[in-house]
Amino acid sequence: MKILHSSDWHIGRYLYDRKRYDEFEAFFDWLLKEIELQEIDVLLVAGDIFDTSVPNNRAQEIYYRFLCNVAKSKCRHIVVIAGNHDSPSFISAPKNILKSLDVHVVGTVTENLEDEVIELKNDQGDLELLVCAVPYLRDKDVRKVQAGESLETKSENLVQGIKDHYAKVAEIAVTIRDDYLESAGKSGVEKHIPIIGMGHLFAAGGSPGEGVRDLYVGSLGYVSAETFPEEFDYVALGHLHIAQKVSSSEYIRYCGSPIPMGFGEAKQVKKIITLAYGVEDTKPAIQEIPIPNFQSLEKIAGDETVIKKRIEDLLSANSSIWLEVEYEGDLEGQSFREEILELLSGSEIELLRFKNKTVLKNYLSSLKVEEKLEDLSPMEVFKRCLVTNEVEEGKQDLLLASYSEVLKSIQEEDIKAE
């Protein structure tokens, strides 16, 4: 049996004003071929299917077309969980229809935790895999708010609530497995039925990637490798955009996003992860497969000499690339931007963003702001407000943590729900 772990597709994401549908479609065409080439039996998708809770029609079309194409392949099952960017109710809405295609969707926590334990069977009806498909756990899903609790207590209770949730779901899976083996007259030695955990969360020590870091300050919402029950043979995680192990564990992993979410991820090698079980294996053989680069991105930072030299090299190589330029020189920013655009004229290189770092450095000592508000994240704006208003450093961490909670609560609101 072979399993493929993917996550954080963020279908519909823009990069500044550029639509990225061509990239998404190229990725899914490649992924479908890889599923067939690798003879994948089960596809696991660990959340953040869409970039927003209200995906547009084009994003939905790409998603459902891909699911239909996989269903027509030799891949027997697909398991999808919702991430923090997804609307739980939107992801869950078509689950009964999708189940007819052997697509198992878990968008939200329900009163019955058995809904999160997916039993996958082979063509003969034999149980071959159990997936604990835990969606993104919102604060309200795992803890009760208590009056007067400190931020530290909130974080501790949240982490404990997540750990307890996984323990309960794992217990259900173990019971199902043991009951099946007993009824089938088989011992665990003769037949190993793997239990795979899935989740969409932030494990401590992980490298986030773009669009994730702002939601976490200090230890807010972090979990450790010990959060996941030892009964799990593998834990397929989503949320962090960089492929990585959790606490150096071979069997608790993020696969990362399939395309760079921003210029900060431009140099990363994006990956999918496959798990292969032999007849007698109790642990899977794991392989990381690099994903091709469907749209080249590059960030250039420096003064006019450094920037022009790099652009000239790219032009000489006939590159097709999207650029972000951070200018750190002394010339007037707008005139240098126009000079860059003139250099790029007629080439396959597009300047998506020009940022004058000199202006940024002088921001706090001047009221003249030459940045656009949309260039800044909500957390960056808040941090600057704290400094501008001369908030004491000792109070800044608490305010940043509280503001992070506000951002999370806004993002977690399911505007698709009634």
Q: Is there a domain that residue 418 lies in? A: no
The tens place of each residue's pLDDT in the chain, 418 residues long, gives 999 999 999 999 999 989 999 999 999 999 999 999 999 999 999 999 999 999 999 999 999 999 999 999 999 999 999 999 999 999 999 999 999 999 999 999 988 999 999 999 988 889 999 999 999 998 777 776 666 667 677 778 888 899 999 999 999 999 999 999 988 776 544 578 999 999 999 887 666 566 554 444 444 557 889 999 999 999 999 999 999 999 889 999 999 999 999 998 998 999 999 999 987 777 899 999 999 999 999 999 998 899 999 999 999 998 899 999 998 877 666 788 899 999 999 999 999 999 887 665 555 445 444 555 555 667 777 777 777 776 777 666 667 666 765 665 555 555 555 5
**So what's the pLDDT on residue 153?**
74
Query: Are both 242 and 349 inside the same structural domain?
Result: no
Instruction: For residue 99, give the CATH number of its domain.
Output: 3.60.21.10
Residues 76, 64: Cα–Cα separation, whole Å: 16
Query: Are both 114 and 67 inside the same structural domain?
Result: yes
For the chain, the maximum distance between any two Cα atoms, rounded to a whole number of angstroms, is 79
Tell me whether strands 321-327 and 296-302 are parallel, antiparallel or unpaired.
parallel
**So what's the pLDDT on residue 92?**
95
> Residue 289 corresponds to which tokens in the numbers above?
């497969």
What are the C-alpha distances in Å from 386 to residues 215, 238, 295, 390, 396?
Answer: 17, 32, 37, 6, 7
**So what's the pLDDT on residue 184?**
79
**So what's the pLDDT on residue 219?**
44
Residues 311, 313: Cα–Cα separation, whole Å: 5
User: By C-alpha distance, which of 376, 380, 387, 379 is closest to 406?
Assistant: 379
**So what's the pLDDT on residue 189?**
46
pTM given for the model: 0.83
Query: Are both 107 and 181 inside the same structural domain?
Result: yes
**So what's the pLDDT on residue 123?**
86
Given a contact cutoff of 8 angstroms between Cβ atoms, the answer to whether 84 and 48 are in contact is yes
Domain boundary among 270, 290, 310: 290
Query: Are both 197 and 301 inside the same structural domain?
Result: no
What are the C-alpha distances in Å from 357 to residues 159, 326, 360, 363?
Answer: 39, 6, 5, 10
Q: Is there a domain that residue 23 lies in? A: yes
Query: Are both 276 and 190 inside the same structural domain?
Result: yes
Query: Are both 7 and 128 inside the same structural domain?
Result: yes
Domain boundary among 252, 268, 290: 290
Helix, strand, coil % (nearest 5) of the chain?
Answer: 40, 25, 40
Q: Is there a domain that residue 111 lies in? A: yes
Query: Are both 171 and 285 inside the same structural domain?
Result: yes
Q: Which helix (H) or strand (E) holds 156?
A: helix 151-183
Q: Burial of 327 by CB count in 10 Å (0-12 exposed, 13-18 middle, 19+ buried)?
A: buried
Domain range holding 137? Answer: 2-290
Domain boundary among 237, 262, 290: 290
Given a contact cutoff of 8 angstroms between Cβ atoms, the answer to whether 88 and 53 are in contact is no
Q: Is there a domain that residue 417 lies in? A: no
Query: Are both 347 and 244 inside the same structural domain?
Result: no
Q: Is there a domain that residue 171 lies in? A: yes
Q: Is there a domain that residue 387 lies in? A: yes
**So what's the pLDDT on residue 281?**
73
> Residue 106 corresponds to which tokens in the numbers above?
């878990």
DSSP designation for 138: -
* Cα 282 to the center of its chain, rounded Å: 28
Q: How many domains does the chain have?
A: 2
Query: Are both 173 and 281 inside the same structural domain?
Result: yes
